[in-house]
Chains A and B, each alone.
Chain A
Amino acid sequence: MTSRQTGRRIASISAERRRRAAGRGGFGKGGRRRDDRMSAGERRQLFRLFFCGGVFVLLVAAKLALPARMEQINAALSRALEQNMDVQAVFSAVGRAFSGEEDLGKTADELYQAVFRPQEQEAVQASVQASAVKAAGSIRFLREYRMSAADPPDSEKTAGDGEGAELSALTYVLYSDQNLPEGVSMEQAILNFDYAVPVSGTVSSGFGYRNHPVEGEERFHYGVDLAADTGTEIDCFADGTVTAVGESSSYGKYCTVTHTGGYSTLYAHCSRITASSGSAVRKGEKIAEVGETGIATGPHLHFELHRNGVYLNPIYYVSPA
């Protein structure tokens, strides 16, 4: 009895299997019959699959046939993907207009900057990239030259000495005029006004090329970083007028002050800006507090000194005498 039942079951299963195999036969009669029974949803999914497959095949074919053209399109696409408005700056500008800290004309100006010229700073840095690479090349060359010039046994003995010499040579290579980015001057300008150290902290990063602590690549650093605790008072560098108080994704909370003689200073990554835009400030007056807003790895003041739009090295004026 059991054997007969089992036999029947096996028979029906194998029949089922045969039927299914015929259906899977693809382009035969069975295949077409399955298409007829396809629901609208299934058909849509099939269409999607074929559409995506088609796009994929087309792209591969285009890449094989016109590699140079595809390379260009690729570059243009990734440029478009990387170019983004500074949403943080947009929000902050609107917020400040809302709280009545700023008039609408200035807000419109900031919005335009944030949407259409978000990476002005980065653009400058990108143009620097080429010269930075050149400089890196010279470093390697110099290092190799030193290695081969120094005798192996002697090099250990005079390691300290040699390093110093190499460093000064490097400084010379790095900061000879052709390696500087546009709009940067290494000269020590003589200021015709009194000034004060904004924060008496240790210099954690100087003016010049450095490996960016967050982005990781070599970039020009347009100011000096003075490390200090969050909340430390930031004093104004010299008498002047606060021309901008703002917030950006890279600078965090920042403000700029214009002084006489075409000089201006910038204070970035603050936790709080206490001065308000348009107000007159005196030398040594508190204008902000140290923080780590924007792209920063710890609390510090990023301090820049400009003369008629040219970046100067602020180090001569901020190290405690």
Chain B
Amino acid sequence: MSRLRESGVQVSGGFWVLTAWFTAVNGWRLTAVLLGMAIVHEAGHWLVLKAAGGRAAGLRIGILGAVMEVDSSGLSYGKELLVVLAGPAANLLTAAVCAAAEAETAAGAGLILGCFNLLPIRPLDGGRALELGVSWALGPAAGETAARWAGTAAASVLAGGLAMVMLQSGGSLWLLPMALSALAAVKREGFRKKVFL
């Protein structure tokens, strides 16, 4: 554990609890498939980051998955955008390979994970990609505004959708942390005071 922390990897208690819950409900095979896909995702980020000449500062693993902290000081917008998009791209590529190999469950898991990460809600990859892309084209203020509007809207829809699924099906409560995180994202993106440099 201490060696993990030294290397910059932080794992929250919530992650263990949620993983244990998911495993108890859905079986260890599905957990293994999902964790494998998460590793592929982070490996995608890391490889492109290395190729672009950046340095990973650490990895925080929480309830919603892993977030790689990137020392992005030396990277251009274009390169950082590539790094951000590499994770979902790695998932979608793996999903395509799995689909060709008739491993439908893994393919579906990769597709769902990749698409989930492309939602425009920071700190998900989609949100960061949107911020970077708009910042690149129109400047950082426009990027921040775009990420806020898109994040608020997408997080509201996500929270509502998850709540609806839980209410309608009368269960699947392991989705609850995700719904709460989406609500927190709505609050963060929609109601926090704007702070510009």
Interface set of A (CB-CB < 8 Å, partner B): 79-85, 87-88, 90-96, 98-99, 101, 115-116, 118, 247, 249
Contact = CB atoms under 8 A, between A and B. Distances in A.
A93 B171 CA distance: 20
A115 B107 contact: no
Interface of A is mostly: helix
Interface of B: 25-27, 30, 33, 95-96, 98-100, 102-109, 111-112, 165, 168-174
A91 B105 contact: yes
B105 A95 contact: yes
5 closest A-B pairs (Cβ-Cβ)? A83-B171, A95-B104, A95-B108, A91-B108, A99-B99
Given A96-B104, A98-B99, A91 B172 contact: no
A83 B30 contact: no
B108 A90 contact: yes
A98 B111 contact: yes
B173 A115 contact: no
Contacts of B112: 90-91, 94
7 contacts: A80-B173, A91-B112, A95-B98, A95-B103, A95-B106, A99-B100, A247-B105
Contacts of B25: 84, 87
B100 to A, nearest CB: 7
A83 B25 CA distance: 9
Contacts of A249: 26-27
A99 B170 contact: no
Contact of B174 (A84, A88, A94, A95): A84
A92 B171 contact: no
Given A88-B105, A91-B109, A91-B112, A116 B168 contact: yes
A82 B174 CA distance: 11
B171 A80 contact: yes
A247 B171 contact: no
A93 B108 contact: yes
Given A84-B25, A99-B104, A91 B169 contact: no
A104 B172 CA distance: 24
A95 B106 CA distance: 7
B26 A87 contact: yes
A247 B30 CA distance: 13
A212 B82 CA distance: 52
A93 B99 CA distance: 11
